[in-house]
Amino acid sequence: MVLLNQKRDSGAFPYPAAERVIASALAEDAAADDVTTRWSVPEGLMARAEVVTRQHGIAAGLPAVAAVFDQVDQQVEVKELVTDGSPLRPGDALLRLAGPARSLISAERTVLNLLQRMCGIATLTDRYVQAVAGLPVRVLDTRKTAPGLRALDKYAVTAGGGHNLRLNLAAMVLLKENHITAAGGVGAAIAAVRRGMAREARDVLIEVEVQTVAQAEEALDARVPCIMLDNMSLPDMARVVHLREALTPAADVVLEASGTITLDTVRAVAATGVDVISVGALTHSAPAVDLSMLLSTT
């Protein structure tokens, strides 16, 4: 079976992307001109701090904290107390920090903004993964990420046990409704893409989005590697799975379910026999995990 993407190695934190995001966040916050901290906190005061969660969740993005202090103040020592992907309980400490108090306080919001978002994405992803536990299906993200944060958002999905679909528009061909309309139909769009691939001597994965069983049959006949079943009913998805199984070999075509799939519906979708389920909400609607940084000067 063609795999849309293998799960990202949990150690493959996207440092270059994180460094760009952190530089932008620190500039946006004017962290280098934190007048409140500079005027109220004694220069040279050393402190310790812990980042603590107030709720259950999944840890994600811890390497970003050291990357923040690489840009703010390299005197700050960062010790990770858990690893990305670890379950969190209320009161758990994720990190321990030590260094100049001014630096800790000025960087606090950037640290928490990154961690709260990434832990939130990992936590919601874990809930979807647990909802389909025991069924042979994988949970995927989409490109519905915050502008500029895609690499971090997608990394957080993998920390929660999910998988990445495509990083950007150049990573693979995904023929969606508007492409198909503009091209004149499913078959015409697939044929045009294959001509374009041959013309440019490129070989990338092709997936086509369909909304009806008839369109799915057309895509199956064209033997595209992956078919996205968009907003289909459960009976229609099961019908397409049956049609796929009649192919020889059936496993050459991956079926992806997509379209407003919630925690309440994801298991029923998985039970139709699709191979993967993509959920935009993982990155566009994940609630932030409630974290705080607690400082001590003693």
Residues carrying an active site annotation: 109, 144, 176, 209, 230
Going by C-alpha positions, the residue among 117, 137, 119 that lies closest to residue 128 is: 137
Going by C-alpha positions, the residue among 7, 21, 61 that lies closest to residue 289 is: 61
Contacts 24+ apart (CB under 8 A), 179-182: 180/208, 180/209
Contacts 24+ apart (CB under 8 A), 241-250: 241/272, 241/273, 241/274, 243/213, 243/216, 243/217, 244/220, 247/220
Please report the DSSP string for 86-138 in residue order.
-EE-TT-EEEEEEEEHHHHHHHHHHHHHHHHHHHHHHHHHHHHHHHTTTSS-E
- C-alpha–C-alpha distance, residues 270 and 257, integer Å: 8
141 φ, ψ (degrees, to nearest 5): -90, -175
- Is the Cα torsion angle 271, 60, 153, 164 positive or negative in sign? negative
> Count of CB atoms within 10 A of residue 206's CB?
22
240 φ, ψ (degrees, to nearest 5): -65, -40
- C-alpha–C-alpha distance, residues 226 and 244, integer Å: 11
75 φ, ψ (degrees, to nearest 5): -70, -20
- The amino acid present at 268, given as its one-letter code, is A
**Extended strands (E) in 172-243:** 173-175, 206-210, 226-230
